[in-house]
Structure 1
Amino acid sequence: MDPRDEATALFDQVDTDKDGVTTLKEWQDREMSQRRNPFDLTKFLSGDRSGDRAIDREEFLRYYLRNQGQV
């Protein structure tokens, strides 16, 4: 699968309320569902380029591609 398609599919999974952004809560819920503990706040913050405590689809795509899918 193309990395952009992978990123889009993953974003859609994380964005559980389908509002076009992933919030800190949605990110935490994903981390917990993947049994990643403790929650890595630095991952979220490094993906939040605008600093608004939410990651939109474009920010997520840039973060995903920059980190070679290691979300």
Structure 2
Amino acid sequence: MRKGRHARDEAERSKLCSLLSKEWSTRLEGSGTEKEHYNLRKVKARTAQTEILWILFGIHTANAVRLARREQQEEHKAIA
């Protein structure tokens, strides 16, 4: 919730924030709970460029973890 007096266009801002949050939540929907695990539920960015960087690093981190787990499982299968 915002602090201070409400602006004249508070209703419009509220609708716009709602639309943006819906759009944001559906962008990474295919990745399941990884959004929350890799701190992507709410991006802490002020500019579009830093927002994109947050998203890319989150996705790459998720992919790296998946790859590491897959390789670890393959090692266990090769040993057994």
| Bin of the TM-score, shorter chain as denominator length | under 0.3
Q: Which has the higher helix share?
A: 2
TM-score (norm 1): 0.25
- Say which structure is richer in strand: 1
- Name the structure, 1 or 2, with higher relative contact order (CA <8 Å, separation 6+): 1
